[in-house]
Structure 1
Amino acid sequence: MENQKTINKSISVKAADSAPFYNNVDFCVGTGRFGLALTKEYLDELAFVQEEIGFKHIRGHGIFTDDTAIYHEYEEDGINKVEYNYTYLDRIMDEYLKLGIRPFIELGFMPKDLASGTQTVFYWKGNTTPPKSYERWCDLVVALLSHLIDRYGESDVTTWPIEVWNEPNLPGFWEHADMKEYCKLFKETFTAIKDFNPSFKVGGPAICGVKDAEWIKGFLDFCKESGLKPDFITRHHYTIEFPEADGHYDYSTLMDEEEGFANLQSTRDIIDSYDEYKGLPIHITEFSTSYTPKGVIHDTNLNAALIARQLSRLGDMNESYSYWTFGDVFEETGVPFSLFHGGFGLVAAGCIPKPTFWTFKFFKDLKVLERGCVFKDDNAVIEKTDKGYAGVLWNESSKEGISIKLNLEDIAKDGDTDNEYTLIIKTVSPKTTNPLKLWHDLGEPATPNSEQTKLIKSAAFPQVTSDRLTASEGSISFDQTLDPETVVYFELSKSKVKSDRGYSYERTITTR
């Protein structure tokens, strides 16, 4: 970019340094409704995500909606009876476990036969009214858990977290946003599960954005008065203002990030103000930049950089944080019209990774190597590893570059003659990793053919560069430039060259 302003900064770390950083990037990821897991594209995208990143849990809506076909009422001899059908549920759960991922069970929405009303949400009409019979609702929940234990084993299934409902503070997701009725739903459900098997971990209220402090406090007041102790608290976290719609797409203005972090801290503070609930884990069961599945920001390099900062900070006050969602097979507002439609997913159709996919991959790789965080600020997280250092660097600015001089000390011990290191750098930027731009330059084909998909996917991977460096007085320094909207992963590790007899790399590359 011509005439681009560049900010210069230096980062110097020592092996004994310490910085607060809790990296639980792989605990959970979101999905559309569970019934979508019956489709091939969905499973292909999830398999790709699991191979590259590997999440432990998956959370989605609609485990009880009619497309999974679990709950049925019928009349026999003049008596209304209930039966359950687990055919689709078993197919879905079998596929999840094959891919090494387990559900974070969200209990909802209401089966049509069990619903007290007709209010629905989304293209696929998830019913959002209370049950007409709490007894039958609790029987349904316990029957589900009992079936899962019978099929997959108690020791495994009881580790699957359970969340009661989704966003009951929004009238579209819970009729009238009735807090009193939600608290009744939680109490009845929580009690039934704990009576069945107290090993299950159950939480709520899964709120999002509206009157959140009022709801957290009201929920905890109710739990205290009722003698309930949830195993965790859940909420959601999005970082945009109300979007502007244009055709099939939503365009949003970003919130101030610090206000968002302060809002999350307020939830932590409210919980900790109760002696009974102080320190209770908070799971963010949905987070992203935009809360709309038509949010164009999701497909951009800017989104990748914004999410990097979120991942560096969300662990400060939360046990986990689940990105919404892993893939673009998603139908809340209908079937997408185009490849890059602003979908929530880390992966687009054709298993094309978006830039944000690599932000998660980089933080997961950091977690695998970590031996303690030595540095964290608004542009970097750096970990000490067994063989050196590793880190994620990012630049959220759309206008200014950042030039960072990194000085990594104590990398080699005094007197250590084995002081050769390999530096690997993976870069995701608008210049290096930009499938959105290639799709645009191809003419924005709504449903690319196989050759176009292959070409777009080829532009969706990080640029990888390498170097060999030698420690001097136990330290290594190198410079790294971050263009606007860029995320970089680096890994510096001890690596001695062991050439085969007669081989010279220097002679090879200079031969004429």
Structure 2
Amino acid sequence: MNFMSEFINNAFRCIGTGRLSLALRKEYINELRYIQRTIGFEYIRGHGLFSDDIGIYQEREENGKYIIEYNFNYLDQIMDSFKALNIKPFLELDFMPKKLASGKETVFYWEGNITPPKNNNEWVKLVQNTLKHLLKRYGNDVLEWPIEIWNEPNLTNFWKNADKQAYFNFFEETFNAIKKVNKHLKVGGPAICGVKDEEWLQDFISFCESEKLDIDFVTRHFYTVNVVPTEGHYRYPNLRKLKDSLKELEKSRKIIDRSKYKNLPMYITEFNTSYSPDAPLHDTVHNAAYTADMLSKLGDTSELYSYWTFGDVFEEKGIPFTNFYGGFGLLAEHSICKPTYWTFYFYNQLYQYLVEKTDNWIITKNGDGEYTGIIWNYKNEEGYGQDINVSIPQVNGKYSLVLEKVDEKHGNPLLIWHGLGEPASLTKEEVKVLKNSAVPEITAKMVSNLKNAKIKVCPDSVEYFKMKKICGSQDTGYSYSKLI
């Protein structure tokens, strides 16, 4: 075994979600509870904190004058739910309340307003009063919640005309307003995606330097497909070579480190393969294997990387037509585990010490001389692939070797859903069948003084192994060999 490079496992620091108001729904909470119980993430980030479906900003007319009020009822319900599930908010400050907005331009089915405020003072008051309320209700815990100002302002879909200077001015005013509430609140941006990302990030860093803004972190997003047209309700993108895509992050890291903000944390507050919630790619084993590769490398540049999203209760393009619609989530509706769920689950089982890291596997060990590892193998851009053979550690003594495999035939409920006739609305029996199918193939055997052993891994699959010492002996008189 040869040590190749450091492995930083920050896969569980943050997870994405649809708009925050979805946390008021039963199915959403059920899915998040399952994710937290079986994997566990530190933070959760979603859109629409100030959108009208949460309803914080209120105006009413009285005696010919407009009176502004704040309603934190839904916000409290959402934050209380997160606290009960042991996950902290990563606050994303958007979108503009319609009564405070300077225009009517919106994004998504649920109409998040993307325009700047018509009254900057009222925007500042909204931000400050919301943070003061959270500090009063949740105390100094709020000082641990990162705050990101807006979402993807470099895209015209999310910030009117993608006006860079308008966003920079908006960022500065919002940043200063937050720090006046409490200087220890952690604030960053610019939450850009891949369009002119180098130009935007360089100009953002230069602006922050010139205005002497002591930002606490820098944020961006990361997706690895190109734009493709829709076919009916769906898109079928091809994945780019991961090494080529990762150059975007390396360039961002260099831009930060050439500035006064050298070594400042870079947070990827959204990442996935496709950027669109209508790509059946997200439901596949291919996605799971490619994501395993991403998780092995994102820590090289970034202190936090947030998979977009934990579940498929999600409505950016409208109400989904079926259970498997290409949503971003690790879980399909009814908390059915997709293959990529298992990628995260396996990463969560890794031990503390790195033994080996390559482009196809990671092997770790604990202080007791036991091992865990993840192996991934995915087809290339042309759809071709071949088996890989991975040597596992040599051990002396008696061990149990457990293998868990997700591939086209195991842990792949999409295949079973297709075999059921792709029903749009599932019966209880169909849900049961799909949940039973959504688990890895598991094998286990006892090995002694293992040497020169290999695991064969087929294309488009993810495998996990664990080697645990066997202490003591079996019960007196028990013979498994006589049973078989």
Taking structure 1 as the reference length, the TM-score comes to: 0.91
Given the alignment of the two structures, is residue 190 of structure 1 paired with residue 172 of structure 2, yes or no? no
8 Å contact from structure 2 (residues 377, 388) kept in 1: no
Structure 2 residue corresponding to 1:389, chosen from 371, 390, 413: 371
8 Å contact from structure 1 (residues 18, 373) kept in 2: no
Instruction: Tell me the matched-pair count.
Output: 480
Quote the Cα distance in structure 1 between the aligned partners of 2:170 and 2:475. 69
Deviation at 1:203, TM superposition (A): 0.4
Structure 2 residue corresponding to 1:376, chosen from 354, 357, 363: 357
Quote the Cα distance in structure 2 between the aligned partners of 1:211 and 1:22. 28
Letter in 1 for 2:430: Q
Structure 1 residue corresponding to 2:429, chosen from 448, 451, 457: 451
Quote the Cα distance in structure 2 between the aligned partners of 1:403 and 1:324. 29
Quote the Cα distance in structure 2 between the aligned partners of 1:83 and 1:501. 75
8 Å contact from structure 1 (residues 401, 481) kept in 2: no
Partner of 2:93 in structure 1?
A: 107
SS in 1 for 2:316: coil
Deviation at 1:73, TM superposition (A): 1.5
Gaps of 5+ in 2: none
Quote the Cα distance in structure 1 between the aligned partners of 2:13 and 2:139. 21
Letter in 1 for 2:366: T
Structure 2 residue corresponding to 1:33, chosen from 10, 14, 19: 19
Deviation at 1:497, TM superposition (A): 4.3
Quote the Cα distance in structure 1 between the aligned partners of 2:471 and 2:389. 27
Partner of 2:333 in structure 1?
A: 349
Stretches of 4+ aligned residues off by more than 4 angstroms: none
SS in 2 for 1:451: helix
Matches within 5 A, 1:355-370: 355-366=339-350, 369-370=351-352
Given the alignment of the two structures, is residue 506 of structure 1 paired with residue 481 of structure 2, yes or no? yes
Partner of 2:104 in structure 1?
A: 118
Partner of 1:267 in structure 2?
A: 252
Matches within 5 A, 1:263-302: 263-274=248-259, 276-302=260-286
Quote the Cα distance in structure 2 between the aligned partners of 1:346 and 1:272. 33
Quote the Cα distance in structure 2 between the aligned partners of 1:293 and 1:396. 22
Deviation at 1:407, TM superposition (A): 4.1
Quote the Cα distance in structure 2 between the aligned partners of 1:495 and 1:203. 49
Structure 2 residue corresponding to 1:481, chosen from 437, 448, 456: 456
Letter in 2 for 1:451: E
Taking structure 2 as the reference length, the TM-score comes to: 0.97
Letter in 2 for 1:441: G
Quote the Cα distance in structure 2 between the aligned partners of 1:146 and 1:72. 17
8 Å contact from structure 2 (residues 44, 89) kept in 1: yes
Partner of 1:441 in structure 2?
A: 419
SS in 1 for 2:12: coil
Letter in 2 for 1:20: E
Given the alignment of the two structures, is residue 246 of structure 1 paired with residue 231 of structure 2, yes or no? yes
8 Å contact from structure 1 (residues 421, 493) kept in 2: yes
Given the alignment of the two structures, is residue 138 of structure 1 paired with residue 124 of structure 2, yes or no? yes
Gaps of 5+ in 1: 1-11, 413-418
Quote the Cα distance in structure 2 between the aligned partners of 1:22 and 1:403. 24
8 Å contact from structure 1 (residues 238, 290) kept in 2: yes
Pairwise CA RMSD? 1.3
C-alpha spacing 1:405/1:171, structure 2 compared with 1 (3 Å)? closer
Deviation at 1:96, TM superposition (A): 0.9
Letter in 1 for 2:433: L
SS in 2 for 1:358: helix
8 Å contact from structure 1 (residues 405, 477) kept in 2: no
Partner of 2:240 in structure 1?
A: 255
Letter in 1 for 2:378: E
C-alpha spacing 1:405/1:116, structure 2 compared with 1 (3 Å)? closer
C-alpha spacing 1:295/1:405, structure 2 compared with 1 (3 Å)? closer
8 Å contact from structure 1 (residues 107, 164) kept in 2: yes
Matches within 5 A, 1:327-338: 327-338=311-322
Quote the Cα distance in structure 1 between the aligned partners of 2:466 and 2:386. 21
Percent same amino acid at aligned positions?
49
Deviation at 1:496, TM superposition (A): 1.9
CA deviations on 1:195-224 (whole Å, 9 max, x unpaired) are 111111100000001000000011011101
8 Å contact from structure 2 (residues 349, 372) kept in 1: no
Q: Which has the higher mean CA deviation after the structures are superposed, 478-487 or 124-133?
A: 478-487
SS in 2 for 1:484: coil
SS in 1 for 2:476: coil
